[in-house]
């Protein structure tokens, strides 16, 4: 929605909650102090007193106690769930069994001998019993028995451990970990840290001593959970799960492509999320811990048309699954990518608010069925990155990555129960203390762990402190600045109403695997390009149509489709031909725009392909495929180290090729004819499906066959099935390393 100011959100926090602020509220249960409809107490005083708000369990007796009332001769209870006493009774106490969860406001009416009446109320918070200990890794984890909290620092390769005794963060130690630590959990009295770049799990004991468990090379481990005496680690590059017992990998088994988050289910199974969704639905897989049985669970495609308040699409960027301690509900934070919008696919252009929208989807953690009607879409938020339930499962905290906020949802009513704003840049991990009082937020790009007192649900959470995570800032100043700008949507120079950040389509600098409809931008259907290894303009001009010649040209997207005011001043932007993408250079005009470019340019490393042999060499079929590649004429265009001839023939005229792949959705280039496509690099193909500018090839096989019927894209029609297999095997090994 347009123009919801932060102030409004803060106000919502005070009155939207399950309980309004009214003096000292007990941390134990949401309560609003009730309505006391009595008049002045005087002689012959009559006061109704319904007691303090409390928690009760579904199916178990709860006591409504009006005995602290004064002057009453009869009492009448309304239980708040549609039931109550038909007539006043002489006793003050009602024992009630609620048959469903909810926040029920029970009313007590008392009367005296003169016929006067007074009324008071009490909030009864009814939840299901706690039967499950939620276990899922995130970037931050607590160790309740030690009153410690630890957070990974993926850019400095450290784990920072803090004590939260006395409600303040005190550094216990920083431990140097393997490269790119992503998630942490506690298991058998050790911190368990998963290090993606080094393909290892680090087991760190309470004194900081570290033991390494090696995982398969180039497997890019990500999530971890302890279950039944074993650790289970997702291997994102291979879509498998490794089972670790006694510090060694005892087996690995198939889970799901792009495997990312992992959680323990109430019945002992494991739930693994697929990070980037296919177009039709988001996916997860429920696995038995031996890997023998597996069942795919889905989150549906939302067909609704984009508007000011809603947008449809597919939930994607699934990472964590939060399972409620009641064992009855699982919540999955994500973005919802509105891939049905855009002028080729719909009558509507993509706008700042109908492109990406933060979502939380709910499903039943036993049967795996989504409660689609309950999916929560957030106004003014683009990507929900992490979530955690309170200890009774009645509140859910959700981190909003680009928006620098944490939202609290009342799970029982479905209502929003406040926002914490300005937590810091790119919050991507959350943890709660066991008593629900302390919330820890990993403000990743502020490099801070932030601690809030959230114990009084009716009150505004108070920030208790911030602690620096890394021992020293690992990035150069301009690159950190650029990385913040890349990941942020709250800065109004970058986006209107905090929906769009570069990272919401390029999380971690990678591709979201979506094909967006950029027809309204004067382009067409465009497959998101992975930025890793491309080093900004390292591979030549940008985009499939080579319509940008410097990263600073993203000023056009920021001012246009994102709705931002721009990182450049209007005067600077409109000087000379700077306001055309191939016009006068924009570099050197805005320090922030240059920082954004410096960050994108720093992404100069492709991810290693897991299809290579363990020593990094080409397997035999791939080595044979290299010869097929040469014989089929591929190096005519895919040449040099970067395997592309991308560049300008003359100033403003890029080298484009029509290799027979243009179709009705391909659209235009800069609002004019599209004569061909800029040759892409082939490094990173192992993980970048779908292929081609319009995403029209689901597999490499399709690129070489159905999408190349007339041999305009290399001579592939004469290749035998085994030659094609070899060629594909070769293509899957290309990752920037020498053949």
Q: Which residues bind ligand HEC (CB under 6 A)?
A: 355, 500, 502, 504-506, 516, 518, 523, 526, 528-529, 531, 534, 539, 542-545, 551, 554, 557-558, 596, 600, 629, 632-634, 636-638, 657, 659, 661, 677, 679-680, 682, 685, 688, 691-693, 700, 703-704, 713-714, 716, 727, 731
Between 301 and 516, name the residue whose CB sits nearer to ligand HEC.
516
Closest separation between CB of residue 206 and ligand HEC, Å?
A: 42
What is the C-alpha to C-alpha distance for residues 313 and 208, in angstroms, rounded to an integer? 45
Structure tokens at 293: 């049985």
Cβ-closest position to ligand HEC: 714
- Torsion angle of alpha carbons 25, 323, 124, 373, nearest 10°? 110
In this complex, which beta carbon is closest to ligand HEC, that of residue 272 or of residue 692?
692
Residue with smaller CB distance to ligand HEC, 319 or 539 = 539
Q: In the complex with ligand HEC, which residue's Cβ is closer, 448 or 512? A: 512
700: nearest Cα among 684, 679, 686, 717: 686
For the bound state, the minimum distance from the C-beta of residue 489 to ligand HEC, rounded and expressed in Å, comes to 9
316, HSE (Cβ side, Cα atoms, 13 Å) = 27
Cα separation, 735 vs 480, whole angstroms: 26
CA distance 227 to 225: 6
Smallest distance, Å, CB 711 to ligand HEC? 9
CA distance 590 to 512: 28
705/715 Cα distance (integer angstroms): 10
Closer of 438 and 525 to ligand HEC (Cβ): 525
What's the min distance (Å) between Cβ of 656 and ligand HEC?
7
* Residues constituting the chain: 739
How far CA 61 is from CA of 57, 200, 588, in Å, comes to 8, 50, 70
Whichever of 301 and 554 has its CB closer to ligand HEC, that residue is 554
Taking the complex as a whole, the smallest distance from the CB of residue 351 to ligand HEC amounts, in Å, to 11
Which CB, 106 or 558, lies closer to ligand HEC?
558
Smallest distance from ligand HEC to CB 33, Å: 46
Nearest by Cα to 425 from 501, 352, 353, 477:
501
Nearest to 323 by CA among 408, 258, 262, 260: 262
CA dist., res. 263 & res. 582, Å (int) = 48
Distance from C-alpha of 225 to C-alpha of 206, rounded to nearest angstrom:
19
Minimum CB distance to ligand HEC, residue 452 (Å): 30
The overall longest dimension of the chain from CA atoms, in Å, is 105
**Shortest gap between Cβ of 236 and ligand HEC (angstroms)?**
19
Would you say 328 or 713 has its CB closer to ligand HEC? 713
Minimum distance, C-beta of residue 109 to ligand HEC, in the bound complex (Å): 57
Residue 507 vs residues 198, 536, 637, 690: alpha-carbon distances, Å: 20, 16, 29, 17
Two structure tokens written together for 98: 């609620």
Nearer to ligand HEC, 225 or 359 (CB): 359
* CA atoms lying within 13 Å on the CB side of residue 462: 6
In the bound state with ligand HEC, the residue whose beta carbon lies nearer, of 324 and 679, is 679
With b for 16 or more beta-carbon neighbours within 10 A and e for fewer, the 5-31 pattern comes to eeeebeebbeebbbbebeeebeeebbb
Q: Which is nearer to ligand HEC, 327 or 342 (CB)?
A: 342
What are 706's two structure tokens? 């159905």
Tokens of 620: 């035999």
Which structure tokens are listed for 34?
Answer: 């009730």
Give min distance, CB of 558 to ligand HEC, in A: 5
Question: How many whole angstroms separate alpha carbon 160 and alpha carbon 208?
Answer: 10
**Buried b / exposed e along 206-229 (16+ C-beta atoms within 10 A):** eeeebeebebbbbbbbbbbbbbee
Cβ 659 to ligand HEC shortest distance, Å: 5
Q: Tell me whether residue 263 or residue 502 sits nearer to ligand HEC (CB atom).
A: 502
């Amino acid at each position: 929605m347009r123009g919801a100011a932060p102030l409004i959100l803060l106000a919502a926090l005070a009155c939207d909650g399950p309980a309004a602020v009214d003096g000292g509220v007990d941390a134990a249960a949401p309560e609003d102090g009730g309505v006391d409809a009595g008049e002045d107490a005087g002689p012959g005083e009559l006061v109704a007193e319904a007691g303090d708000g409390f928690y009760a369990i579904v199916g178990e007796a709860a006591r409504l106690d009006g005995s602290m009332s004064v002057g009453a001769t009869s009492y009448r209870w309304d239980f708040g769930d549609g039931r109550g006493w038909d007539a006043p009774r002489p006793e003050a106490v009602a024992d009630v069994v609620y048959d469903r969860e909810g926040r029920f406001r029970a009313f007590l009416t008392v009367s005296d001998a003169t016929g006067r009446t007074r009324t008071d109320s009490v909030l009864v918070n009814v939840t299901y019993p706690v039967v499950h200990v939620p276990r899922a890794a995130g970037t931050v984890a607590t160790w309740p028995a030690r009153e410690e909290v630890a957070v990974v620092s993926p850019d400095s390769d450290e784990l920072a451990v803090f004590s939260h005794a006395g409600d303040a963060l005190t550094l216990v130690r920083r431990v140097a970990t393997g490269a790119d630590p992503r998630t942490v959990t506690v298991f058998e009295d050790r911190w368990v840290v998963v290090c993606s770049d080094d393909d290892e799990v680090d087991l760190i004991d309470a004194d900081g001593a570290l033991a390494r468990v090696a995982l398969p090379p180039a497997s890019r481990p990500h999530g971890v959970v302890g279950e039944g005496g074993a650790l289970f680690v997702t291997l994102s590059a291979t879509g498998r799960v490794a089972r670790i017992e006694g510090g060694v990998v005892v087996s690995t088994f198939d889970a799901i492509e792009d495997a990312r988050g992992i959680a323990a289910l109430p019945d002992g199974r494991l739930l693994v999320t697929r990070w980037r969704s296919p177009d039709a639905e988001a996916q997860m897989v429920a696995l038995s811990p031996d890997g023998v049985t597996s069942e795919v669970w889905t989150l549906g495609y939302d067909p609704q048309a984009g508007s000011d308040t809603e947008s449809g699409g597919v939930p994607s960027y699934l990472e964590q699954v939060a399972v409620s301690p009641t064992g009855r509900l699982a919540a999955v934070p994500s973005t919802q990518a509105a891939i049905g919008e855009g002028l080729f696919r719909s009558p509507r252009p993509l706008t700042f608010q109908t492109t990406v929208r933060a979502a939380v989807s709910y499903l039943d953690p036993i049967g795996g069925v989504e409660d689609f009607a309950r999916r929560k879409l957030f106004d003014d938020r683009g990507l929900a990155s992490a979530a955690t339930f309170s200890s009774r499962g009645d509140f859910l905290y959700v981190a909003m990555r680009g928006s620098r906020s944490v939202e609290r949802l009342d799970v029982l009513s479905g209502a929003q129960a406040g926002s914490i704003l300005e937590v810091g840049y790119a919050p991507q991990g959350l943890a709660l203390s066991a008593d629900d009082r302390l919330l820890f937020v990993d403000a990743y790009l502020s490099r801070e762990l932030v601690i809030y007192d959230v114990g009084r649900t009716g009150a505004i959470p108070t920030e208790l402190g911030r602690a620096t995570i890394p021992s020293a800032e690992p990035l150069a100043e301009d690159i950190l600045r650029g990385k913040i700008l890349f990941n942020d949507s709250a800065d109004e120079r970058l986006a209107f109403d905090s929906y769009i950040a570069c990272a919401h389509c390029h999380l971690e600098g990678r591709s979201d695997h979506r094909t967006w409809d950029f027809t309204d931008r004067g382009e067409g259907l465009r497959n998101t390009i992975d930025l890793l290894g491309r080093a900004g303009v390292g591979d030549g001009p940008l985009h499939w149509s080579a319509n940008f010649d410097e990263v600073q040209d993203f000023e056009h997207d920021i001012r246009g489709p994102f709705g931002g005011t721009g990182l450049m001043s209007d005067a600077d932007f409109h000087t000379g031909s700077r306001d055309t993408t191939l016009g006068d250079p924009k570099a050197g005009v805005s320090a922030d725009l240059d920082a954004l470019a410096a960050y994108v340019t720093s992404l100069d490393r492709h991810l290693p392909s897991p299809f290579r042999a363990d020593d990094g060499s080409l397997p035999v079929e791939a080595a044979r495929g290299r010869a097929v590649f040469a014989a089929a004429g591929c190096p005519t265009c895919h040449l040099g180290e970067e395997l592309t001839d991308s560049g300008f023939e003359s100033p403003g005229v890029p080298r484009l090729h029509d290799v027979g792949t243009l179709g009705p959705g391909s659209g235009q280039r800069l609002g004019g004819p599209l004569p061909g496509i800029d040759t892409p690099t082939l490094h990173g193909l192992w993980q970048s499906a779908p292929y081609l500018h319009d995403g029209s090839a689901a597999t490499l096989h399709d690129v070489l066959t159905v999408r190349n019927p007339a041999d305009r894209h290399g001579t592939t029609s004469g290749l035998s099935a085994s030659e094609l297999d070899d060629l594909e095997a070769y293509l899957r090994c290309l990752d920037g390393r020498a053949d």
